[in-house]
Amino acid sequence: MTVLERYEPLIDDVEAFREACERPLPSAVRVNTIKTTVERGKVALDDAGIAYEETDWLPGLLRLPVDQPGANWPYVHGWLHGQEEVSALPATVLDPQPGERVWDACAAPGSKTSQLAALMDDRGLLVATDNNMGRVSALRSNAERLGVTNLALTVEDARNHSLKPFDSEPYDRALVDVPCSCEGTIRKNADVLDEWNYEQVQGTAGVQKGILRRAIQATREGGTVVYSTCTFAPEENEAVLDYVLEAEDCRVVPFEIGLEAAPGVTEWDDDHLDEPMAFDESVTHAKRIYPHLNDTGGFCCAKLEVTG
């Protein structure tokens, strides 16, 4: 059985799924509203003779059928930022407001971080954490080009994140876009399937559980935590959600998006498992986005409310 074959029981149209996974991923850019407006960003592309298509679910997120994201002057000046279409989903679901305290727990290289800052009108406190200094350097470079000023960076394991440098006050919202087995990125990185192994899935899931727990602990009662991955594996998606529902005071809540999606799954069985897995019914509120549904990468996203 190949890696993708293990997920075919979860998919409504297996043939369309296979075909989509073999096609190149369309390029996309997000207009950076810290430096310009959506309309000015589109005019700049028009003036530069660069073709684009507007997405129908998120204003300012544009597909570039021909041009590469960074090969134009609006990008160099920080008006645009290359960001895979489905990658813009988690920050949109989190919906941070100007003046709030927000934590991006796995931030580098900064696409979602800068999107959060733009949604906050570059006001309030945005804390971005990563444990890889090289990736943090890329995050700093992107933040500077895009004009982000409400940002504080921490280099640490997110599972041990401390609130002390930030007055020990909890966050209003937290984004947990965790490292994962990355099966959903196959359209831009086919090698990911050659490197896949189940032991990696198990080990990664353990890290994901720790990061999501810390995010819930660091967020105030009534606050919002968004959990996302670019993998199809229930071990890294619904199983992680099911774990934190038992371990922390939180609940998975429904949300609506303009992308076609499948619900989270409540049961999962596979040759790698000693016995079938079953999850809390509320994980069906999570959204599974397969490549064939919207011509994007693969993704999973869930919204949680902190209840204690």
Whether residue 98 sits in one domain with residue 74 = no
Whether residue 96 sits in one domain with residue 193 = yes
Domain of 43: which CATH number?
A: 3.30.70.1170
Q: What per-residue confidence (pLDDT) applies to 225? A: 99
Provide the β-strand partners of residue 11.
none
> Does the active-site annotation cover 301?
no
Rounded (5°) CA angle 259-219-227: 30
Q: What per-residue confidence (pLDDT) applies to 69? A: 67
Whether residue 132 sits in one domain with residue 74 = no
For 235-299, give the DSSP string: GGTHHHHHHHHHHSSEEEE----SS--EEPPSEE--TT-SS-EE--GGGGGSEEE-HHHHTS--E
Q: For tokens 């947990």, name the residue.
A: 176
Whether residue 124 sits in one domain with residue 175 = yes
Whether residue 262 sits in one domain with residue 223 = yes
CA 151 to chain centre: 18
Whether residue 41 sits in one domain with residue 141 = no
Q: What per-residue confidence (pLDDT) applies to 57? A: 97
pTM of the model as a whole? 0.97
**Helix locations, 23-82, DSSP H:** 38-47, 73-76
Domain of 275: which CATH number?
A: 3.40.50.150
Catalytic residue (one of 21, 106, 180, 230): 230
Q: Which H or E run includes 139?
A: helix 133-146
Q: What per-residue confidence (pLDDT) applies to 70? A: 72
Boundary-marking domain end, from 53, 83, 113: 83
Whether residue 298 sits in one domain with residue 185 = yes
Boundary-marking domain end, from 83, 98, 123: 83
Boundary-marking domain end, from 83, 100, 117: 83
Whether residue 258 sits in one domain with residue 222 = yes
Q: How far apart are CA 252 and CA 232, in angstroms?
A: 19
Q: What per-residue confidence (pLDDT) applies to 32? A: 98
- Residue 43 half-sphere exposure toward CB, CA atoms < 13 A: 5
Whether residue 37 sits in one domain with residue 153 = no
Whether residue 101 sits in one domain with residue 75 = no
Whether residue 72 sits in one domain with residue 155 = no
Structural domain span for residue 59:
26-83
Whether residue 108 sits in one domain with residue 42 = no
Per-residue pLDDT in tens (0 to 9) along the chain, 308 residues: 689 999 999 999 999 999 999 999 999 999 999 999 999 999 999 998 888 999 999 999 999 887 666 778 899 999 999 999 999 999 999 999 999 999 999 999 999 999 999 999 999 999 999 999 989 999 999 999 999 999 999 999 999 999 999 889 999 999 999 999 999 999 999 899 999 999 999 999 999 999 999 999 999 999 999 999 999 999 999 999 999 999 999 999 999 999 999 999 999 999 999 999 999 999 999 999 999 999 999 999 999 999 99
Please count the structural domains in the chain: 2
